[in-house]
Amino acid sequence: MSTAFPAWAWIAFTLAAASLQAFRTAAQKWLGGKLSTAAATYVRYLFALPVALAWALILHWGFGVPVPLPPVDSFGYAAANAATQIAGTAFLLKALQSRNFAVGVAYSKTDVVQAAAFEALVLGAAITWGAAAGIAIATVAVMLMSLKSGARPLEALVQGITEKAAIYGLLSGGSFAISGVMVRAAVLHYDAATPLLGASISALLTVLVLQVVFMGAWLLLREPGAFAAIARSWKAAAFAGIAGGVGSICWFLALGLQQVAYVRTLGLVEILATIVLSRVLFKEHPRRVELIGIVVLLIGIALVLNAG
């Protein structure tokens, strides 16, 4: 895989991706009152596809960067990414529908730890002890921040491990962890002479096409009115999709440059942007546990950046 990016580029791409993901999440939260959960999820793929296609055309026709069709093995990884990303969303929705949904969301945040394990298993990637400590600290921080106000965080996590919500949360985190590993595998399995820019957008286009087609078919069968609802809210849906599309481009580039565990840990800064947006857009005030969690999260991220 040929790349001309500096060593720190993965940090810039990850921060950009995390910030854009926070904006996409805010838009999807607003759409939640107008669309079904599945339809609000679908817009991230539907409107992201033309963004990725436009970027591919700019690279190819404007800068002469080759954007090849995915090799067979890379296509398999891209397809696995598309499937596990949808599965992760489905399991998360199951957790949100459960009685103790806060515990389910908290356990879904174990995706970073699970990503480190899957990456070691699939790609043979190892991490330093310092990075492992940072990942663990950051994971605990976001888990605690995900719990309901008034709950005793550690007690709630321990007691909730046997509940269905926690199981769905762990399955969601595992699906998203595998999804991230599959992105890196898909990008790395292009020909060594293919520029990272071309390989990453080719892999992303493959994933988005599969998601748009298969989730679109599912909506057509299960929620045929979803497309009309999306059309009525097309401005907010387009914003969510465009933010998600540009964010996905950045995610794929970051994952092509750096190990999944490092990228996903730094990507947790999304929660900081989400808290700011919640305060500005939805007038929601951060809770004490969130403020403490932010400090702990930053400590964990600092350890990972020092190791990476």
Q: Looking at the predicted structure, is the pLDDT value of residue 280 above 80?
A: no
Contact 72, 129 (CB under 8 A): no
Query: Of the given ranges (64-68, 97-101, 140-144), which has the lowest mean pLDDT?
Result: 97-101
Tell me whether residue 224 is in a domain: yes
Token pair for 98: 């459960």
Q: Looking at the predicted structure, is the pLDDT value of residue 219 above 90?
A: yes
Query: Of the given ranges (46-50, 97-101, 245-249), which has the lowest mean pLDDT?
Result: 97-101
Domain range spanning residue 276? 9-307
Query: Of the given ranges (30-44, 164-178, 240-254), which has the lowest mean pLDDT?
Result: 30-44
Band (201; pLDDT cuts 50, 70, 90)? very high
Tell me whether residue 35 is in a domain: yes
Band (165; pLDDT cuts 50, 70, 90)? confident
Q: Give residue 107's pLDDT.
A: 84
Tell me whether residue 2 is in a domain: no
Tell me whether residue 258 is in a domain: yes
Band (223; pLDDT cuts 50, 70, 90)? very high
**103 or 162, which is more confident:** 103
Q: What's the rounded mean pLDDT across residues 291-298? A: 81
DSSP string, 238-263: HHHHHHHHHHHHHHHHHHHHS-HHHH
Task: Give Cβ neighbours of residue 88 (< 8 Å, ≥ 6 apart).
Answer: 111, 172, 173, 174, 175, 176, 179
Q: How far apart are CA 298 and CA 266, in angstroms?
A: 9
Q: How far apart are CA 49 and CA 65, in angstroms?
A: 19
Token pair for 95: 């957790």
Q: How far apart are CA 30 and CA 128, in angstroms?
A: 40
Q: Give residue 142's pLDDT.
A: 83
Residue 20 has, within 13 A of its CA and on its CB side, a CA count of 21
Task: Give Cβ neighbours of residue 287 (< 8 Å, ≥ 6 apart).
Answer: 149
Task: Give Cβ neighbours of residue 214 (< 8 Å, ≥ 6 apart).
Answer: 82, 86
Q: Give residue 29's pLDDT.
A: 67
Tell me whether residue 234 is in a domain: yes
Q: Quick one: which of 55, 28, 47, 42 has its CA closest to 238?
A: 47
Q: What's the rounded mean pLDDT across residues 27-41? A: 75
The number of distinct structural domains making up the chain is 1
Q: Quick one: which of 201, 39, 52, 172 has its CA closest to 112?
A: 172
Contact 160, 108 (CB under 8 A): no
**CA distances (Å), origin 35, targets 23, 104, 213:** 18, 23, 19
Q: Quick one: which of 188, 74, 175 has its CA closest to 124?
A: 188
Enumerate the β-bridge partners of residue 2: 195
Q: How many residues does the chain have?
A: 308
Q: What's the rounded mean pLDDT across residues 5-31? A: 84
Band (255; pLDDT cuts 50, 70, 90)? very high
Contact 184, 256 (CB under 8 A): yes
Q: What's the rounded mean pLDDT across residues 218-230? A: 92
Q: Give residue 97's pLDDT.
A: 72
Q: How far apart are CA 301 and CA 182, in angstroms?
A: 23
Token pair for 141: 């921080």
Token pair for 108: 């879904």
Provide the CA 243 distance to its chain's centre, in angstroms.
13
pLDDT in tens, 110-156: 899 999 999 998 888 888 888 899 999 998 888 877 775 555 666 66
**298 or 16, which is more confident:** 16
pLDDT in tens, 83-93: 999 888 888 87
pLDDT averaged over the chain?
Answer: 86
pTM over 0.85: yes
